[in-house]
Amino acid sequence: MIKKTTKALGIAAATLTLAGAMLSPQAMAGAMLSSQAVEATQAERVANATAKKTAALQAKVDQMATMMEAMQAELTKVKAATNAGSSTAKLQELDQWMASVRNAPMHKAVKDHKFSVRGGWMHMDDNRGSTKGPTGNGLGIDVLTSEVDQDAFYYGGAIDFTMNNDLFGLMDGVSFGIELGIEYSELGDREDSGLDDVITTVADLGDGSLGNSPVPANSDFQQDVTVNMLRVSAAPKITFMHGSKLRPWIIPLGIDFNIISPPSDAVTVLNSGMQFGAGATYELLDGIFAGVDGRYHWTPDDIDGVDTDGFTLGGSVGFAF
């Protein structure tokens, strides 16, 4: 019985062993398949996760690219609008400037300088003759400068150069300028001169006719002489009420150079002196002035006996430039 049982157990063990041997490869294959399936599932999961992440990143990149394109388009629009606005503003500004230029009143160039022609009457303080005669004591007959009338006529011209219109910043509307002038004056003609008388007297003395009277005025010893004078002057001039039609002015102190003809008995023809004056001008038309003036001319010394002191009174016509 025991033998049968042992034998049965042996057969059962052998059967299980054989069955196990037959089932082991399949089990192992199944196990391997199961492991590979798990690994494949994990790899698929990783790949899916990576793909999802990549897709998300790509989506973000695409979104950023879209935003950049939108920003670039907006910037382009802004630039275009700015350029258009700037051009429009410049055009508007240019139009406004042109309109202001067209509507603005015409401004003429300022003409502060002036050229004038003038003339009038002159009166000498003393007769135009030397104060010394042949005896040297003021008595007798002048050799070259026989006396003529004290009154004369004169004419000449002047240029006024304006330096400023506010008296060097001291007074508004008060101009300061320099006047350069030249005048010719004629006192008269002498048909006989002192030289005629001297020559006649000497001739009479040579004939032994001492005490004879001088020859008549129509003698032929010497040609008739014109008594005249040329005056060149430079003077500061202060003009009031600048810009108005009526403009008074004064010359506080100017300088004169006097040239006489005929010369003095010492054959001197030139001396210097001073002038003081006042006057006014009135603008008749644009840039055209009419004026009156009075001046006194004084010299500290005569021209070797010839006195040139006197005053002038006259009018003028001036042209601004």
The CATH number given to whatever domain includes residue 305 is 2.40.160.20
Q: How confident is the model at residue 109 (pLDDT cuts 50, 70, 90)?
A: low
What is the structure's pLDDT at 217? 44
Confidence of residue 11 (pLDDT cuts 50, 70, 90): low
Confidence of residue 138 (pLDDT cuts 50, 70, 90): very low
Q: Do 68 and 213 fall into the same domain? A: no
Using the predicted structure, report yes or no on whether residue 65 has a pLDDT greater than 90: no
Share above pLDDT 90 across residues of the chain, in percent, rounded to a whole number:
37
Secondary structure of the chain in HEC code, one letter for each residue? CHHHHHHHHHHHHHHHHHHHHHHHHHHHHHHHHHHHHHHHHHHHHHHHHHHHHHHHHHHHHHHHHHHHHHHHHHHHHHHHHHHHHHHHHHHHHHHHHHHHHHHCCCCCCCCCCEEEEEEEEEEECCCCCCCCCCCCCCCCCCCCCCCCCCEEEEEEEEEEEEEECCCCCCCCCCEEEEEEEEEEEEEEEECCCHHHHHHHHHHHHHCCCCCCCCCCCCCCCCCCEEEEEEEEEEEEEEECCCCCCEEEEEEEEEEEEEEEECCCCCCCCEEEEEEEEEEEEEEEECCEEEEEEEEEEECCCCECCECCCEEEEEEEEEEEC
Tell which of 81, 107, 133 closes a domain: 107
Same domain, 148 and 207: yes
How much is the pLDDT for 244? 93
Mean pLDDT of 42-52: 80
159 and 251 co-located in one domain: yes
- Do 118 and 86 belong to one domain? no
**What's the mean pLDDT in 173-183?**
96
pLDDT of residue 22: 52
pTM comes to 0.59
Domain boundary among the residues 77, 107, 137 is at 107
Number of domains in the chain: 2
Per-residue confidence (pLDDT) for residue 315, from 0 to 100? 96
Quick: pLDDT tens for 189-245. 765 555 565 566 555 555 544 444 444 444 455 567 788 999 999 999 999 999 899
Q: Are residues 135 and 59 in the same domain?
A: no
Range of the domain at 55: 1-107
Domain boundary among 107, 136, 162: 107
Are residues 191 and 312 located together in one domain of the fold?
A: yes
